[in-house]
Structure 1
C-alpha cells in the first residue's frame, strides 16, 4: 500500500497536469506530445513539491523515513499544482493559447456579466417568487427546512453521539447552511442548460449567466439562514469578536469556488445524461468528509484531520466560518488564499469551456 502511494506521489500530479493541458487544448494533442508533456509536468510538479518540502524543513528524501501524512500532503500539493501549472506551460507551448487570449476572454467576461447581470437578478427573483407562490407558509420554508434538519442532527449527534463542540446547534446550522448552498448549486448546475433551453434557443446569452441566476437563488436562501444564525448567537450568548468581520470574505471564496465547479459541471451535464447520478453519490461522500456534523480536525486522528480540512475546500470554509463567528479565532488566510486562487483558475477554466462550446449546446439539447 505504501509503495503504491509512493509511486502515486510522483506519477499522479504529472498525469493530472496532462489532463488539464489536454482540456485547455480540447484534446487536440498527439500521443507523442502527451508523453513529452507528461515528462515535463512530472519534473515541474515534483521539483516544486520537493522545494516546498525543503523550505518546510524536510532536508532528506528517503522513502523509508516518509510518513503516511507526508505522502498524502505531497500528492495533494501535486494535484493542486496540476490545476495551475498547465496554464503557464500552455502559454509557452501552445500557439492557440496566449496572454492576449486570456485578456480577451477576461474582457469579454466582464462585458457579458455587466450586460446580463440584470437578467440574472430578475430571473433569480422570479424563481424565488414562483417557488413559494402556491405554498401556505411562503418564504418560511427557506427557514423551516434547515432549522428542522438542525434539530434532528443536534439530537442525533449532540445527545446520542455526544458531540462536544461548543454552541453545537449553531455549529450544526452553520454547516447545513453552507453545505446546502454548495450541494444545491452543484446538483442544479448539471441540468442548467437543458432546463433553460426555451431561452437559449431563442436569445443569445452566455450560458454561465443561467448558473449565476441559480446561485443568486441559493445564495439568498443562505443569507436568510445566516440571519437565523445571528439570532441564535444572541439567544446562546455567543461572545462576538473582531474576526466576525471576515465572514463575508469566506462566503465570497465559497461563492467563487462553487461557481468554478458548477460551470464545469454545467458543461458536461449537456453531454452526459448520467452525470446527475454520479454527482449525487460524490456529494453524499463529500458531505461526510466536510464536517457538516462535526469538526473534521478534531474527529480524524492526527495529522489526517488537518490534511482533510486543508485539501477539502468545503470543510475549510465551514471550519473558518465557525472559527470566525463562534470561537473568536482568525481564519486560515493562507489556505483561504490558496483556495481563492484555485477557485479563480476553476472559474476561468469553466468560462473558457462555456465560451468554446456554447454554440454546440443548442444542437445537443
Structure 2
C-alpha cells in the first residue's frame, strides 16, 4: 500500500511538472525558446563582466565559465523556486490530502527537465568551441545524478524551512548568492592556495563544478573521493528531509495558514 502511494505521488509530480512547463511556455511569446535564451543571457552577462570589464580569462575561458555557470544556475534556480512551494500550495493542501513533498519535488522535476536541454546545448557548444568529445565525457552522467540528489536535498529542506520561519525567504537567496562566489564559477580552484583547498571543497557545489570542468574541459576523470563525499552529503540531506516531512505532514496545513 505504501509503495502504491509513492508511485501515485510520483505520477502526480510528473503530470503537474509537465503541465507547469506547458503553462510557462504558453504565456511567453518565444515559448520554449526561453529555456535556451535565459541561460545564454546569463552567460553573456557574466562573460562580458569577467572577460572584458575585469580582464579575466585565458585559454578556453568561455568553456570554463559555461561549465561552471550552467550547473550552478540549475541548482540555484531550483532552490529559489522550491523554497516557497509549500506556502503557495496552502489552498490545495487544505482542501484535500496530498503529500507535502509533492510541492517542492514538482519544481525540482520541472527545472530538471529544462536542464536536460541546456546541458545538451552546452555539449554542442563545447564541440563547436573546439573541445573534442571523448569517452571521459560519459563521467558527466553520474555527476549530473549527484547534483540532482544534492538539489533534491537542499530544495526539500528549503521548502520546509520557509513555512516555519518566513524570513528564510530572504535568507536563502542571500545565502545562494554568497555560495555562488564561493563555488569557483569565475575562478579555478588551482588559483586557491593549496592549504585552503580542503576547506573550499567542503562546499558540495564547488566539488560538482570542478568535476564538470575536469571531465568536459580538461578531459580527465573527476575526483571520485570528493564526489563520494557529495553523494553521501546529499543522501543525508534527503534522509533528514524525508524524516522531517513525515513528522510534520499534518502540522504543515496549519502552519501555512498562520
Give the TM-score taking structure 2 as reference length.
Answer: 0.92
Aligned residue in 2 for 1:311: 202
Shift of 1:158: 2.0
Tell whether the 8 Å contact from 1:186 to 1:265 is kept in structure 2 after alignment.
Answer: yes
The offset of 1:202, in angstroms, is 2.5
Question: Equivalent residue for 1:104?
Answer: none
Q: Distance in 2 between matches of 1:237 and 1:332?
A: 24
Q: Report the counterpart of residue 157 of structure 1 in structure 2.
A: 50
- Aligned to 1:300, which of 182, 186, 192? 192
The answer to whether the 8 A contact 1:124-1:213 is kept is yes
Question: Which fold has the larger relative contact order, with Cα–Cα distance below 8 Å and residues 6 or more apart in sequence?
Answer: 2
The aligned counterpart of 2:248 is: 357
Of 267, 288, 293, 2:181 maps to: 288
Q: CA deviation at 1:204?
A: 2.2
- 2:220 counterpart residue number: 329
CA contact (8 A) 1:181 1:219 kept: yes
Q: Secondary structure at the match of 1:207?
A: coil
Gaps of 5+ in 2: none
Separation in 1, partners of 2:159, 2:145: 20
Whole-angstrom CA distance in 2 between matches of 1:278 and 1:339? 23
Deviations 1:133-187 (A, max 9, x none): 1211111112112112212222221233333454222322222221111112222
Distance change >3 Å, CA 166–CA 221, structure 1 → 2: farther
- CA offset digits 1:109-145 (Å, max 9, x no partner): x654322111111111111111121211111112112
**Residues 111/335 of structure 1: CA separation in 2 closer, same or farther (3 Å cut):** farther
Please name the residue that 1:197 is paired with.
90
* Alignment map for 1:147-226 (pairs within 5 Å): 147-164=40-57, 166-226=59-119
For 1:32-51, list aligned pairs within 5 A. none
Structure 1 unmatched runs, 5+: 1-106
Counterparts of 1:226 and 1:347 in 2: how far apart (Å)?
24
* Equivalences, count: 256
Instruction: Give deviations 1:321-362, integer Å, cap 9, x for gaps.
Output: 111111111111111112211211110000100010010111
Q: Whole-Å Cα distance in 2 between the matches of residues 111 and 288 of structure 1?
A: 43
Counterparts of 2:69 and 2:26, CA distance in 1: 25
Deviations 1:67-93 (A, max 9, x none): xxxxxxxxxxxxxxxxxxxxxxxxxxx
Task: Report the 3-state secondary structure (helix = DSSP H, G, I; strand = E; otherwise coil) of the residue aligned with 1:135.
Answer: coil
TM superposition shift of 1:280: 1.4
Once the two structures are overlaid, the 10-residue window that deviates more, 352-361 or 214-223, is: 214-223
Question: What CA distance in whole angstroms lies between the structure 2 residues aligned with 1:346 and 1:111?
Answer: 24
The aligned runs of 1:41-190 (5 Å cut-off) are: 108=2, 111-164=4-57, 166-190=59-83
Quote how far apart the aligned CAs of 1:308 are.
4.0
Q: Is the 8 A contact 2:184 2:209 kept in 1?
A: yes
Give the direction of change, closer, same or farther, for the CA distance of 1:342–1:112 in structure 2 (3 Å limit). farther
Counterpart Cα distance in 2 of 1:298 and 1:165: 14
**Contact conserved, 1:185 with 1:214, CA < 8 A, in 2?**
yes
Counterpart CA distance in 1 for 2:126 and 2:98 is 42
Distance in 2 (CA, whole Å) between partners of 1:327 and 1:166 is 12
Structure with bigger gyration radius: 1
Aligned equivalents of 1:133, 1:144: Cα separation in 2: 16
1:225-304 aligned at under 5 Å gives the runs 225-295=118-188, 297-304=189-196
Range 165-174 or range 324-333, more displaced = 165-174
